[in-house]
Chain A
Amino acid sequence: MADSLTIRRVSASPDAFIPISALRSGGPTYAKLVDIGACIGCKGCEVACKEWNDLGVEPTANFGSYQSHRDLSPKTWLLMRFNEVEVDGNLNWLIKKDACLHCEDPGCLFSCPAPGAIVQYTNGIVDFNQESCIGCQYCVTGCPFDIPRFDASTRKVSKCNMCVDRVEAGLEPACVKTCPTNAISWGSKHDMLALADQKVETLQSRGYANAAVYNPAGVGGTHMMYVVPHGDRLADYSLPSDPTASPAPMTGLMFMKRLGAWMMGFGVLGALVHFLRYGPERLDEHGDHRDHGDGPAREAPSARLGGHDGHGDGPARQAPSA
């Protein structure tokens, strides 16, 4: 693995097993800034996403909207949602670039029980590793933005990976590069936050008093942020107003795993101590337990070679002598 992809978090894995590279500080933290005020809805980003990631064509049908597909899918990681909303008596497209927001605190990763299936790099990208995915779809439930999509044929979940292969090579994601109106920007999270403030200021000076940055604190901020001209209408952009993600499932799972491992360890240890202290159980020549040899002998229900049930407390069973 390339050094520029330092791992920050791994799903369902205790921190102790994150490799030593996690000790490094990790390099830049990237963010994508989507200025919805500058988007003309050309869907170039959708095409570039499909082209780069070799996602293939999904036939579409007109359903009365300029939107291409009805919903995200395992083969459509990015969808421009054309929300038609009346604002001040005028029809507006409150467009949403619907794709993974790459949360700082990713709900998908926290809820994933498959070790290594979801990885968060220190550069901010949350990536799915389909080889480790067990298809349980907990991430679909755990995502506050409803982004991951389950493929019934491969039984794997997939979503936008922020073109992690490009980012690793020093390139911007495909959607960012192709955007003809500069509505999508790419850079360090710090720079993008500053740019977002500028864009909001510009929008406000042009009469969009409620223009705002969408970088929700409930998930620790996101690595795809939006500048929305109508910040008071987040629901119309199909953006949740207060998304949250809690690491409780992951820490709970970790606790249960540790508990289970300790119990297993103690069980093995206990058996070993018992073995060392009392030694193996010995039978006399009649197949009876030596210490309880006075009980009434009973026919064994089935022929078991050297059979005894391991508990020395029951009545001794008749067993064929070897």
Chain B
Amino acid sequence: MDISRRTFIKAAAGGAVGVSALGFDLRPAQAAVRQLKIRNATEYRTVCPYCAVGCGTIAYVHGSGGLNTRNTVIHVEGDPDSPINGGTLCPKGASQMELAISPRLRHQPLLRRAGAADWEEVDWDTAMDWFARKFKDSRDASFRERDDAGRVVNRADGIAWVGSATVSNEDAYLITKTMRAMGLVYIDHQARI
């Protein structure tokens, strides 16, 4: 007839286990919403490097920018304040973070020598020397001081320069100035091809 304290606790514990096993979970019902991944990132306003439209983008970056730190891009999306795109991005632009972080990104120039079937990885000095040599040779071979009518033109008809939407305004300025100085006439841009 008498219930010992021990028996009572046993019964109470058994009852609690039974009830929770039947689905009465007393924890507050919560969903684990992933935290906003850009919440502590630094925003850098930049321009999409791909086509000539020049969509404004925001790059979200982790890292303080300190001397010992390499910053990491964690997300890129359209800049809603840009009058060009108003925050929208095409599929290529939406994936542009890969341009910074992709493990398939090449960090070395590739050179395919005349007659070779494969590309070889070369250092920058080799690449620049090769390029300068070719440039000089082509220019020397095709340079015309005067045209057929005898007018001074000083142009290198054998070389064309194709720019890119990836280059910045400053790059484009330098390219134009340098190439015009070399006598190039055929200077064009990726977006017109």
| A interface residues (Cβ-Cβ under 8 A, vs B) | 1-2, 5, 7, 10, 12-14, 17-19, 42-44, 46-48, 51-52, 54, 115-116, 119, 127, 129, 131, 164-166, 168-169, 171, 174, 177-180, 182, 257, 260-261, 264-265, 268, 271-272, 275-276, 279
Contact = CB atoms under 8 A, between A and B. Distances in A.
A182 B89 CA distance: 11
A115 to B, nearest CB: 5
B23 interface: yes
A12 B88 CA distance: 39
State which size class the interface on B falls in: 35 or more
B18 A42 contact: no
The listed residue with most A CB atoms (<10 A of its CB), out of B2, B15, B31, B95, is B31
B29 A260 contact: no
Secondary structure of the B side of the interface? loop
B29 A115 contact: yes
A42 B31 contact: no
Contact of B33 (A116, A168, A178): A168
Contacts of A265: 15, 19
The listed residue with most B CB atoms (<10 A of its CB), out of A19, A177, A275, A276, is A177
Nearest to A262: B22
A175 to B, nearest CB: 9
Interface of B: 1-3, 7, 11, 14-15, 18-19, 22-26, 28-37, 39, 75-78, 80, 85, 87-95, 97
Nearest to B1: A279
Contacts of B77: 48, 52, 174, 177-178
A171 B77 CA distance: 12
A257 B33 contact: no
Contact of A268 (B18, B26, B35): B18
Nearest to B29: A10
B149 to A, nearest CB: 50
A88 B24 CA distance: 58
A273 to B, nearest CB: 11
B95 A51 contact: yes
A265 B18 CA distance: 8
A254 B67 CA distance: 59
